[in-house]
Structure 1
């Protein structure tokens, strides 16, 4: 059985991420279609148990729980303050539904109802629910618009919040906005973050040379040192990081070579990508953070999956670079094809990013499909590439954890700056 798991962000009307929904695909069906599959419930419960810390990144966790999962006390794997328990019709029709909901509610857990409808069984537990979710996917002809508007009005009257999910296109997004919902969720919402990022006016040559240098199979420390030494900003940023509380060194470091030795290629590889954005996107840091995390995630996930692909014509470092560079067109004011012409990277990587050609293109397609929870395409790509399907979900959340740790490390020095500014006030 092929089991896949992905996170999809839930955003408020100000485009800020309030949480992530953990979405499952088990076998040929999504979790939402398998109401009483006890084997599936066991698989999900075990996955939550093994990955609860990886799933949580400081934002709310939204997850749908079937009756089997609720009776297994699976939600208790998570602290009540971190989790929103999503339920749907298969719970509401259960004769013990009210007792189940009251039990978790008394323990501090909050609830969301998927695909809320005007019917007695939905209203029977309304007082215990905080979020009402309505499906707007494909509602371009405004079918059911008045009913949805009434749900939103009713929710406000009962002090509930509405989440429009299935926002997978521009049309879905415009329709959801007319409803006046509180939160939005869907592939369009996730990808719109990239489009909104403030773009740079030009290619920062030293930065891109540095990224290419550190992602080589055998990085040349002398080359890296030379690139940094001819850029005042890179030099300053390197010294600021290496002398921060994160490294807690006994004395200040003032040598680029010494700083590089202490930092190490792995940490440097993740960190340099952040540097180019820190001074150029001060006014939209929330969006920038999401784009950079997306870059790290794509690079890390590509690299992890590549280990299981036979005949890949590029190195692990180049595969990582492919994922990292996939967001460049959203940050640089030029078409991706023009940007890639300026970079000394393999043609296989360029073709994969531009037209998704070749094995590298298939790998890139798989990573994008996973972001969108496109289960059918994921199954096809996994089989085509020969990746063990039973391990992909674990790879994904291992990468989520790694990216979260990377982010903590590369942004830690910013705390020193903030602390110093407060002390100087």
Structure 2
């Protein structure tokens, strides 16, 4: 956190939610379970240079929370929101559920006696604070330190020598440490050794290829079933394959009876599941089961499952928006989204995975080359996830698909809700 004076943003007029692109970036704990999201926004009207995560965006979202419901965006997790001097001194906090948010004090905010008094007042009222982008132990940091719970460190701006120097000071002060922009497994392990409590970044979604890696028996069984469905095998053959694996059969029935499926009545048999769900829906739940396996190893909310399910659902919804009468396009889009992280899930090259499960050429092109209609949809969703780094490509893709920011926001909320429900019940 630096001590730069506040900018003219303090006098900016809050924009409407629909004028922003939204991203939610996962925050993981030391066990790699999902515990929070940072909500980030980009002013769509001002172009790619205007990444704004403080006054106008925060004020817009907070002001609309009562209508939208923050739980639609963050589910059961906690939401981190950026605040600057103008937001802190405003009266918008009545909209915020105290137990569901951590307020991030932006690094450009100059600390004044009025700011300190206001933060103290909000702490007394039950709000929690984090200091964002702390890079050195400044006077401003020292003044705010007793009032905050979390110190955020941006790894891109922090050499290891400085990290080694700062970490013990904040740990000694009993502060939680959050490493952001964690982009590799090595960075994660370094911060883990240094005692960091939380980690933000897409290191968990990057494949670490292990030579000679083999699928587990349960993964192999699911992949073989997916191939049977894709090759148009008889229902009786598919049913026999499912019933051969008791664990697979049990988990499939458990999953298809979750609220996210929306079945009006309980499905009690594989025969029923095949008849009621149909093949494309069965394929969908098999894909989700692949990601759900780590959940059974003690993870609460595995971020990879949540991210893959969000991608799949968002691609499906975009496809429905583009081709409302073509269910096949939507189903294929879902497959592309959820399979896009399977190289990470299996620690195997995507080419090898596609050799083991038959998919149509359009899916292969999308997954390997980001080519074709589905590849462009996937690129759009990937750009949305990394909204801070997204350049003009994001705007170009949104225009290409004739999506307004309001359309996209609505589709995102639906995808977030659905994927969170799936992850909770996996």
Give the TM-score normalised by structure 2. Answer: 0.76
Structure-1 residue corresponding to 2:310: 297
Is 1:125 the counterpart of 2:144? The answer is: yes
**What does residue range 67-82 of structure 1 map to in structure 2 within 5 Å?**
67-82=85-100
Checking the alignment, whether the CA contact within 8 Å between 1:215 and 1:317 is kept in structure 2 is no
Structure-1 residue corresponding to 2:367: 353
Q: How far apart are 1:379 and its partner, in Å? A: 2.5
Q: How far apart are 1:77 and its partner, in Å? A: 3.0
Separation in structure 1 between the aligned mates of residue 256 and residue 375 of structure 2, nearest angstrom? 37
SS in 2 for 1:322: helix
Checking the alignment, whether the CA contact within 8 Å between 1:70 and 1:100 is kept in structure 2 is yes
Checking the alignment, whether the CA contact within 8 Å between 1:281 and 1:288 is kept in structure 2 is no
Q: Please, which runs of 5 or more residues in structure 2 have no aligned partner?
A: 1-17
Separation in structure 1 between the aligned mates of residue 296 and residue 267 of structure 2, nearest angstrom? 31
Structure-1 residue corresponding to 2:7: none
- The alignment's C-alpha RMSD in Å is 4.0
Checking the alignment, whether the CA contact within 8 Å between 2:205 and 2:341 is kept in structure 1 is no
Change (3 A) 1:196 1:287: farther
Checking the alignment, whether the CA contact within 8 Å between 1:6 and 1:393 is kept in structure 2 is no
Is 1:134 the counterpart of 2:153? The answer is: yes
Structure-2 residue corresponding to 1:165: 180
Structure-2 residue corresponding to 1:16: 33
Q: How far apart are 1:46 and its partner, in Å? A: 3.8
Change (3 A) 1:154 1:331: closer
SS in 1 for 2:407: helix
Separation in structure 2 between the aligned mates of residue 82 and residue 288 of structure 1, nearest angstrom? 17
Separation in structure 2 between the aligned mates of residue 378 and residue 11 of structure 1, nearest angstrom? 26
Structure-2 residue corresponding to 1:108: 126
Bigger RCO (CA 8 Å, 6+ sep): 2
Structure-2 residue corresponding to 1:423: none
For 1:52, which of 52, 70, 80 is the aligned residue? Answer: 70
Residue by residue, what CA displacement relative to the aligned partner does 1:77-115 show, whole Å, maximum 9, x if unpaired? 332222111112454445521222122111111110112
Q: How far apart are 1:256 and its partner, in Å? A: 3.4
Separation in structure 2 between the aligned mates of residue 123 and residue 271 of structure 1, nearest angstrom? 51
Change (3 A) 1:25 1:171: farther
SS in 1 for 2:98: coil
SS in 1 for 2:315: helix
SS in 1 for 2:81: strand
Q: Please, which runs of 5 or more residues in structure 1 have no aligned partner?
A: 412-425
SS in 2 for 1:86: strand
**What does residue range 322-333 of structure 1 map to in structure 2 within 5 Å?**
322-332=336-346
Is 1:31 the counterpart of 2:31? The answer is: no
Give the TM-score normalised by structure 1. Answer: 0.76
Is 1:231 the counterpart of 2:238? The answer is: no
**What does residue range 302-317 of structure 1 map to in structure 2 within 5 Å?**
302-309=315-322, 315-317=329-331
Change (3 A) 1:200 1:72: farther
Checking the alignment, whether the CA contact within 8 Å between 2:288 and 2:309 is kept in structure 1 is no
SS in 2 for 1:353: helix
**What does residue range 9-408 of structure 1 map to in structure 2 within 5 Å?**
9-26=26-43, 27=46, 28-32=49-53, 35=55, 37=56, 40-49=57-66, 50-93=68-111, 96-116=114-134, 117-137=136-156, 139=158, 142=160, 145-146=161-162, 148-169=163-184, 173=188, 176=191, 179-188=194-203, 190-192=204-206, 195=208, 200-201=215-216, 207-208=222-223, 210-211=225-226, 223-224=234-235, 226-232=237-243, 233=245, 234-238=248-252, 255-261=269-275, 268=282, 270-276=284-290, 281=294, 284-286=297-299, 289-309=302-322, 315-332=329-346, 334-373=348-387, 374-376=389-391, 377-408=393-424
SS in 1 for 2:413: helix
Residue by residue, what CA displacement relative to the aligned partner does 1:47-102 show, whole Å, maximum 9, x if unpaired? 43414111233232211123343344444433222211111245444552122212
Separation in structure 2 between the aligned mates of residue 242 and residue 174 of structure 1, nearest angstrom? 36
Q: How far apart are 1:272 and its partner, in Å? A: 2.6
Separation in structure 1 between the aligned mates of residue 114 and residue 168 of structure 2, nearest angstrom? 29
Separation in structure 1 between the aligned mates of residue 258 and residue 404 of structure 2, nearest angstrom? 41
Farther off after superposition, 175-184 or 289-298: 175-184
Is 1:4 the counterpart of 2:21? The answer is: yes
